[in-house]
Structure 1
Amino acid sequence: MDAAFLTSLLQHPSRHALLALDAAGRLLAANDRARELVTPSLEAELRQVLAGAMAQLAANPDRQVQHRHRSEGVEIDCVLLAARDAEGDLQGYTVSLLAVDEAPDLAESPDRARWRFALENAQDGLWDWSADTGKVYRSSRCMSMLGYPRDHLSDELDSWRSMVHPDDQARVAEALENHIAGRHPKYQSEYRVRDARGRWRWILDRGRVIAWTLEGRPRRVIGTHTDITGYKQIEAQLREREVLLNQAQHVARIGSWSWDPETDSLWWSDELFLIAGLPAGAPPPPFRRQRALFEPASYERLQDASRRMLEDGSPYDMELVMLRPDGERRTVAARGEGIFGADGRVTRLVGVIHDVTERNRAEETSRWRNDLLNRIAAVGRIGGFELLVETGELQWTDENYRIHGIEPGTPLTVASSMQHYEEESRPRLLEAMRRMIEDGVAEQTLEVGYITPDERRLWLRIMARLELRDGRPYRITGLTQDITEEHEADERIEQLAHYDTLTGLPNRFLFRLRAEDAIGQVRNGEPPLALLFLDLDRFKLVNDTLGHAAGDQLLQEVAGRIKSCVRGSDLVGRLGGDEFLVLLREVGRPEDASVVARKIIAALGLPVDLAGTEVQVGCSIGIALLGDGNPDLDALLRAADTAMYAAKEGGRNSFQFYNDSFFEKVQRRVTLEQELRQALPRGELSLVYQPTVCLRHGNVTGIEALLRWQGPDGSLRSPVEFIPIAEDSGEILAIGRWVLAEACRQAGAWHEAGLQFGRIAVNVSAVQLRDPQFADDVLAICQRYRWPTDRLELELTESALMRDTEVLRRAFDLFAANGITLAVDDFGTGFSNLAYLHRFPVRHLKIDRSFVQQLSGDGERMRGLTQAVVTLGHALGMAVVAEGVETEITLDLLRQQGCDEAQGYLFTRPLAPEQLETWLRVQPG
Structure 2
Amino acid sequence: MPAHPTPSAHLLQLLPDAVVQTDALWTVTYLNPAWQRLTGHAVDDALGRSLLDFVHPDDNPTLRSGMPVFRLRFADGDYRWMRLQLQPETDAADRVLSRQGVLLEVADVTEQVLVEVRQRFLRLLETIDGVVWEAERGVGNTFLSPQVERLFGFTVEEWRADPGFWRSRVHPDDLQAALVIDDAAYNATHSYAYEMSYRLIARSGDVVWVRDLCRTVVEPGRPNRMIGLMIDVTRQKAAELELLRSDERYALATRGSNDGIWDWDLRTGVLHVSARFYAILGLAGTGDVHADGWQFLQQLIDPDDHARVQSAYRRHLSGESPNFSVDFRAWHGSGRLVWVNWRGVAQFEDGIAVRMAGSLSDLAERGSSYDALTNLPGRPLFRDRLEHAIALHRKAGEGASVAGDPTMFAVLMLDLDGFKLVNDTWGHHVGDQLLQQVARRLESSVRAVDLVARMSGDEFNVLLESVGPVDAAERARQIAAALSAPYRIGTHTVLTGASIGLVSSHPQLRTSDDYLRAADAAMYEAKSLPSGLSVFAVEA
Classify the TM-score, shorter chain.
0.3 to 0.5
Q: Which has the higher contact order (CA 8 A, sep 6+)?
A: 2
How high is the TM-score relative to the length of structure 1?
0.28
